[in-house]
Structure 1
């Protein structure tokens, strides 16, 4: 998106305030220049562009004698109007831009004060951390939401507050704000769509003030997707993957926690990647049952047990070195491990026991028969002698065969 800022009327000492979203383009211009006008643009008193009747002396950024390479081909100078366009604007481009026009023997100038708003996108229900420059111990910090003070801190602990505790605060966040006493960063937990808007950080250092503006957008997640992503049910002994369905940014620092205990970490430094007891203050709860995907940051738990049920929390800290800022987000997974009944190993064990029992019973029967048969034969022989001589012979012969 391109924003145009014109300055009607004559030049003077007034400063025009220009607000632009990070990543957009902005065009700064004033009066249409005459063909003989000489144009110079300055950023914080450093010349970044110029043009006059001599094309060889037209330049932008590093091409100018006093220029720097901070913009790197993101400056465009209009040869007809003298306007300056900054494309793909960054928060480091915020500051004072001065236009100097020399017409004959007279000079005139116009100043533009450009503020760049950071765009922050966060999913509803997640957490986000907003921070600017690291604060000095003497810095006084104030945070505003849509011009309402919601947090502040300084050297006096009694004046540190968040939300309703602040004099001008409101109870809209209700214990969902956390203020980092070391950096001054503000974290909003369990964010809601009503939390979207403009957040301003005001830092007072001595007699000077500096500010940083964040434009926060909260996007919702369909209920079906929330159930799929945030709740996982798995049978004991099976594996479950807590996935993000996105490719990890190389600069992201990801940490996985189980019931608030660190169980895995992935960073840009390969030597710092760890799982379970390898991590600092980690425990040996999972014992080589964790797998970490280095591309996406997804976590897989293998051979799950009922003791693995609980809350798994992923914290993502996205660091932008070029923009000197850090944005944190958080994702939660509720994992339930259910009993799976008899495993295949248990079933196989039971079958073996039954077979052994059956074979043992057959063996006992055979032994019993072999010990019992001769005695039984003698008894039958005695009974037969009474009945008939022929029967006695028949029984005698059968007895001899059985004994043999």
Structure 2
């Protein structure tokens, strides 16, 4: 039904047109009523499908099909004025096309035909004119007419009449209609556009010593986002893009005071700093960033505490190894005497093995975002010793061994990897040996007698 939103008895005449062809008319005193072929000079296009409401003059089209898609014009003549209103009717399930796009992507609505020189192609969004192509000229609605919805994001193709929307947002969801008008016919096509918010997920693991501060970075600018939220089981911090709302800890959730003034939000980036970090602060932190386009960025930070080992309880071992060789870092223990052995490289966990061998991991298995060693690590199931194969200069650094996550035991290996010319490396061999053991250096050839 196409509604007039008036009462018939308050008007002189209500007239309906389909592409400028008279199809229905009613006078305020009901002295004259006609539909379709009953009207003067009208064609028999609708064949008893039209019905006029005598109270309002509203028009109902029954048993509609694609033949009746197009522009209907309502003309109301009262004692004081003449008003007109256009209705663009699209028949869904016949001409309508359903299109799905992710936010931030570009979308092209293609009519699927070549524009003729004299065609006028008009694009509507939810019945609002947004673009028009006449001959070789085109015009796109201004921000005033579009309520700043598209903001220079519309492009038209003069050859095909297609419409491209760049950097789509959730607000671009709706019905787009293309009206193509030539000298002989008008064709209406509709496109049902659904914009789905994009969800981007990433992960990171951060190691920090108890009592230190840790900074969890968003890698964005606050003023380019709608909302930034931080969660640690519950919401612990939030900041809006316009800075109209900012909260941390107990300000976000009454009754929650885990951090007690130890949280700080960066107003420029929304990054979160946790000061004087404690053991109970370790765990999974969730960052959720909502952009104006509808894209949601999600990042998981796993914060793990490195337990500082007390001075006299730590063994420090310096190891020098040639590039491309293998090196084994020995634990000097038996696995069945330990609950867990954990290896760290420059503060990043790279290997774990439990005493009952129920859990073992190396490199990327321990940290999803870390793949430095790429299958070059090997754990000894009997001792938990770590072997690094095909070692590289970038593998130089501190390898920290911890037993059972306790404070009173540990071992630090300072590994220095030195490079050598290819010819020299081919002639050199390296052996790893524990202090107090015997080592045999074999030249690999038979000594000749004089």
TM-score category of the 2 structures, normalised to the smaller one = 0.3 to 0.5
Bigger RCO (CA 8 Å, 6+ sep): 1
**Which structure has greater helix proportion?**
1
- The structure number with the bigger radius of gyration is 1
* TM-score, normalised via structure 1 length: 0.34
